[in-house]
Chains A and B, each alone.
Chain A
């Protein structure tokens, strides 16, 4: 009796899961662990573009870095092997803080976080993804050097 009751309860709870996720081959695939890095790269690119818009005198210095972040996002997306899930576009354009020093300090902080997350992803990745993630971590370290 107890056993049958438990089974019924579990079965009842499992129905919606079974219906939409667990055994439904047409359902959404699990997220790829690289997807947060794609979003982070696009967010970093947007931050640099916002900084350039706020202080065009920094264009020569910052534009190549914005392009590098976009190239990273594109390459990561290619490695994931499917287009970005809908609704995952980066949030609205970030606003750059006023004043060149504050603006560069904010970029440094974002870039440091990015460098560390790419290094962590490199350490945890399967071999076939480690080289790309290592290059991205190293690139972000060089961006910090340019921002100094």
Chain B
């Protein structure tokens, strides 16, 4: 899921962000199954937000005429999701990882593209904070959302 080399052009950075959105959408399937009530509703809302970003990226990359990476049938999860705790842990990780891809798009974009990347980075950071709170993880925030550790 993680590409370690920083992209050097906007098309590549946004294509990378699209692959991250695909994987995030996939991950929220098993996450949602292990959650109940308001947490499950929040997982559905998060998944819908990632689908919205995915759709916008597919449109944008298609219009630009560059490569549009295809979705895959499945993605390797970093650890098995077997209960509520592991589902919440994965939700935090998915948002942190996706944030990193949008952050990587900032240096190579400008104008409206950069503003969209910042909005996406911020949304991922906010959802990560939300899931940390649900999981009882403290602190609820990190100093540099999306920065590679």
Interface residues in chain A, defined as those with a beta carbon under 8 Å from any beta carbon in chain B: 60, 64-65, 67-68, 71-72, 75, 119, 122-123, 127-128, 130-139, 141-143, 145-146
Report yes or no: A135 in contact with B141, Cβ–Cβ below 8 A: no
- Taken together as a complex, chains A and B put the C-alpha atoms of A75 and B22 apart, in Å, by 32
Interface size on B, as a range, is 20 to 34
Report yes or no: A135 in contact with B145, Cβ–Cβ below 8 A: yes
Q: Given contacts A71-B143, A135-B103, A137-B122, is CB(A142)–CB(B129) below 8 Å?
A: yes
Partner of B107, one of A65, A71, A130, A136: A130
Inter-chain contacts of B126 with A (CB < 8 A): 138, 141-142, 145
Closest to B110 in A: A127
Report yes or no: A145 in contact with B146, Cβ–Cβ below 8 A: no
Report yes or no: B145 in contact with A139, Cβ–Cβ below 8 A: yes
Q: Cβ of B84 < 8 Å from any Cβ of A?
A: no
Inter-chain contacts of A143 with B (CB < 8 A): 141
Q: Cβ of B104 < 8 Å from any Cβ of A?
A: yes
- Taken together as a complex, chains A and B put the C-alpha atoms of A143 and B122 apart, in Å, by 11
Closest to B124 in A: A138
Partner of B125, one of A60, A71, A75, A141: A141
Known: A64-B141, A131-B107, A146-B140. 12 other contacts (CB 8 A): A64-B138, A67-B143, A68-B141, A71-B144, A127-B108, A130-B107, A130-B114, A133-B106, A134-B106, A136-B144, A138-B145, A142-B125
- Taken together as a complex, chains A and B put the C-alpha atoms of A65 and B145 apart, in Å, by 13
Inter-chain contacts of A128 with B (CB < 8 A): 107
Report yes or no: A138 in contact with B125, Cβ–Cβ below 8 A: yes
B62-120, CB < 8 A from A: 99, 103-104, 106-108, 110, 114-115, 117-118
